[in-house]
Structures are given as structure tokens and as C-alpha cells.
Amino acid sequence: MRVIIEPDYDSLSKWAANYVANRIIEANPTPEKPFVLGCPTGSSPLGLYRNLIEMCSAGKISFQNVITFNMDEYVKLPEDHPESYHSFMWNNFFNHIDIKRENVHILNGNAPDLIAECNHYEELIAEAGGVDLFMGGIGPDGHLAFNEPGSSLSSRTRIKTLTTDTIHANSRFFDNDLSLVPKQALTVGIGTVMDAKEVLLVCSGHNKARALKHCIDGDISHKWTSSMLQMHPHAIVVCDEASCDELTVGTYKYYLDKERGNL
Ligand code: GLP
């Protein structure tokens, strides 16, 4: 695992965006061999998306030959609801880049058969040749996508019931009214994310310190599902100083020294 420690949210967002842009540029995608990008929602990736939008507007990067698969979507929230992950993605990213509408994939939480929808999503990812780079955030309870504590670490795309922690955390998008937060979501599994060739997580702020500690500095556990990334051959966590507050001093120094070339 690579851990990149940046001073603050702006610099971690820039680092992550540059990394993703370079990966796409290096892959030199074509319609026959597109680049497959996994996309998260949440506040954490907003800066990363803003930087990618700027690079695209400046002509430094194109998404013409990029196919995306989003991580998750609420169940039974109308697609055009302002807090649906469909709305989030189009408002904060897709509407501002040159991606083709047909190349965007987001789980349909209103599908008549939710299990079939999840199975079909896995098939679509496989047909696209697998995900080249899965971007992600970390929930305060350590979850990845909506793989809540207790999720199988080999899970595939499926329906998950949200934990009380997550319902509280996400209520900030629903007028702080817990009753308005959907109680279930469709989500790619930990196994789905683990199959990606690369995974890049962004993590920012003191309220993520406990989750980051368990993700990179604790044991692999289904209680902290992002910790499974310790088993991934190409995982990168890009974090800021504030989110490092609970790492051991040794871990913190090791990753800083490694990236500075002091080791
Ligand atoms: C939601 C999403 C996750 C995201 C998490 C953290 O639960 N399903 O993919 O990582 O929120 O969000 P934020 O970045 O806003 O803290």
C-alpha cells in the first residue's frame, strides 16, 4: 500500500486528480480499449472532481474514451432527487466533462428487481474488462462504498442496509432529519473493488482519523471494511494531516519518509 500524506484537503485533492489524470493519459484509451474508472460520491472526492474538471476544460485530459462505474446508490430515492447519487455525479462531475452519457453507469436503486440489477452491474463491469482504477472515500465507520461494518470482505454488488452511524452521518444531506435518509443502498462489494487493477482512496479531516487508523494501521477486519485494501497489490490512500491524528508515530513517519525518498 502507498500512503500519501498531504498538508490539507486542497493539496490531497490535487495529488489525487493528477494521479488519476496521468493514469488515463498513460493508458491512451480508445473506443476499442477504453479506460474504466470507478467513481465515489461524498464530500471527500469533490476536490478531486473539481481538479479533473479543470484539467478537462483546459484540454489536458479527455473522458471521451472513459467508462465509469459508480460505487453505490440509495434504494428507492427518486433518481432526480437532489441527494441521489445520480444527481450528485451529474451535478458535480459528469455535466462538466466530455464523457459520453452511454459510458456512465450508476446502479438503479429503483429497479423492479434489485438483485437482478446488482448482478447485471457485475456483468457490465466484467464486459468492460474490469475496473482499471477505482476511486473511493472512507466513511467515518471505515466503510468503503456502502460496505458497512460486518460486510463480507469478498462481497459482490448487492443490497446493503445502512448502519445507524451512516444514517446519522448522511443525514446532513437530508435536512438533518434521520427519517428522510434512505435505509438501504445498492453497492459494489469489497470483492468488486478488490478486483480493480488499482484503488485510490481519498481521506480528509479529523473526523476520519479513526477510520484511517483502522484502514491502514490496524488489522484486516470486516468491522472496518476499507482495511481489506491492505490485501490489494496496488492500493493508494491519499490523506491530509488532520486525518492522520490517530496513526502511530512510526506509521506516520514511515509513509512520509518513503514518499520523500528518505528510505
Ligand atoms: C457515503 C458513500 C461513501 C463515502 C462516504 C463518506 O456513505 N457511500 O462512498 O465514502 O459516504 O462520505 P464523505 O466523503 O462525505 O465523508
User: 172-227 pLDDT, tens per residue?
Assistant: 999 999 999 999 999 999 999 999 999 999 999 999 999 999 999 999 999 999 99
Angle between helices 9-27 and 46-57 (to 10 degrees): 50
Alpha-carbon distance of 191 to 206, in angstroms, equals: 28
Neighbours of 24 (CB within 10 A): 21
pLDDT (0 to 100) of residue 243: 98
- What is the mean pLDDT of the segment spanning 36-57? 98
Q: Return mean pLDDT, the chain.
A: 97
Where do the H-state alpha helices sit in 182-229? Answer: 190-194, 209-216
Rounded Cα distance between 18 and 27, Å, is 14
pTM: 0.97
The Cα 103–Cα 146 span in angstroms is: 23
Catalytic status, residue 143: yes
Pocket of ligand 1 (CB under 6 A): 40-44, 71-72, 137-139, 145-146, 166, 170
Output the CA 41–ligand 1 centroid distance in Å: 6
- Please say if 72 is a catalytic residue: yes
Angle at 111 between CA 110 and CA 112, to 5 degrees: 115
Considering the candidates 132, 143, 195, 198, report the single residue annotated as catalytic: 143
Amino acid at 60: K
Would you place residue 263 in the very low, low, confident or very high pLDDT band (cuts 50, 70, 90)?
confident
Handedness of CA 58, 61, 67, 70 (dihedral sign): negative
Residue 247 pLDDT? 98
* For the CA of 208, the nearest atom of ligand 1: 16
- pLDDT at position 139: 94
